Amino acid sequence: MVSSQRFAVVGGGIIGAAVARELTRRRPGAEVVLFEKEERVAAHQTGHNSGVVHAGLYYEPGSLKARLCRRGVDLLTGFIAEHSIPYQQCGKVVVALAEEERPRLAAIFGRAQRNGVPGVRLIDGAELREVEPEARGIAAIHSPETGIADFAAVTAALVQDAKRAGAVIHLGTEVLGLEARTDRVTLRSTRGEERFDRVVSCAGLQSDRLARRSGAANAPSIVPFFGQYLILEPRFGDITRGLVYPVPDPKYPFLGVHLTKRVDGAMTVGPNAFLSFSREIYRGLGVNPRDCFDVVRDPGFWRFAAGNLAAAGRELHGVLSARRFIRDAARYVPAVEDARFERLPRGIRAQALGPDGRLVDDFVIQHVGRVTHLRNAPSPGATSSLAIAEHLIDEVLSQTAE
């Protein structure tokens, strides 16, 4: 039976594109419309990340992150192969430099095993040098199936699949508000008003604002964190075989400065993580008054800041000195210490924050009548994108059937 339903998807990042494609697959004949406020897809988080296809090492077993990451890897790599998108399964090591890091390393290894990460091993310093001859450390986790991809290319291919199946893509069209009623949703955009049966919002850095304008809860709010990336001179492109990460600090939700290969053959160092003064400015001072005001008036932010002053101080050193940034990476791969480099456009992460000041770690989905909001999709959001789309559409269609 041909469906006559109308679905809207807000956001042209990798998750929004995956949702639009999934809708065309699950509801052939339905009208699917994707709205993206920029003139191109993948303009924000998707186009400003490290390109890592995560294997699922870090995530709490049983969480949405853990479940959707493993499912997402399978779906993503299959899609990449089908569309001949650049991809490399280069592997990754998480390296401990000191004895006090061993318990944290062991805890990550235990999570990886419970999450079913294939091929993951806990190795000593000698084995580390066999895997990564230029790396130094006393122990490491080796994840041979971690990979790298071009997520902007994946997004473009997802959009093309959706268009071929009949989806309509409105670029340069900002969604201003959503009014959910019993029988429909009124979507207001810079094109005017339209009515839809269901709307899925994957608005990323703007997700909290759009959610509130459609009657959703205030929490979680989005606090933007920027990450700087440096690209090393070409002779360092093969300095590692794969990715080299530090053991993350469990008190802080970011993974620390690491060396990351790209599918174009370049080697990057980054990112750090520091409060951003804008949500969508990637060069220069990057100050947006409205974005700053939203952070300053958020009581949860001040509770978070009070408990993370020491971590902020450490990150500030890397913000102020790119050479210090390189020295941090050289603790793990000494050969890069004197490398020349150039700065890349910063990335900005949409970090969800609770009113108690805690950073929200898992994916967050909220329903307001006929509108479904993806309120938090941090790393491994890109890796998990096709699985997140499956999960969201399962929920949307189950509600539709009720």
pLDDT given for residue 312 in this prediction:
61
Residue 152 has pLDDT above 90, yes or no: yes
| Secondary structure letter of residue 247 according to DSSP | P
pLDDT given for residue 310 in this prediction:
64
Residue 195 has pLDDT above 70, yes or no: yes
CA distance 37 to 83: 26
pLDDT band at 191 (very low <50, low <70, confident <90, very high): very high
**Which residues does 50 contact at the CB level (< 8 Å), separation at least 6?**
148, 229, 260, 262, 268, 270, 271, 347
Residue % of the chain over a pLDDT of 90: 84
- Quickly count: other Cβ atoms within 10 Å of residue 360's Cβ: 18
Instruction: Provide the mean pLDDT of the chain.
Output: 93
CATH 3.30.9 domain range(s) in the chain:
222-353
- CATH class of the domain whose range is 222-353: alpha beta
pLDDT given for residue 169 in this prediction:
98
Residue 134 has pLDDT above 60, yes or no: yes
pLDDT given for residue 285 in this prediction:
80
pTM for the full predicted model: 0.95
pLDDT given for residue 272 in this prediction:
79
Residue 1 has pLDDT above 60, yes or no: no
Tokens describing residue 204: 């990323």
Which of 53-62, 151-160, 237-246, 248-257 has the lowest average pLDDT?
A: 248-257
pLDDT given for residue 319 in this prediction:
61
Which of 55-64, 165-174, 179-188, 265-274 has the lowest average pLDDT?
A: 265-274
Under CATH, which number does the domain 6-46+152-220+361-401 receive?
A: 3.50.50.60
pLDDT given for residue 401 in this prediction:
60
The pairing of beta strand 267-270 with beta strand 139-143:
unpaired
CA distance 227 to 345: 9
CA distance 349 to 80: 24
Residue 254 has pLDDT above 80, yes or no: no
CATH 3.50.50.60 domain range(s) in the chain:
6-46+152-220+361-401
pLDDT given for residue 271 in this prediction:
85
pLDDT given for residue 339 in this prediction:
95
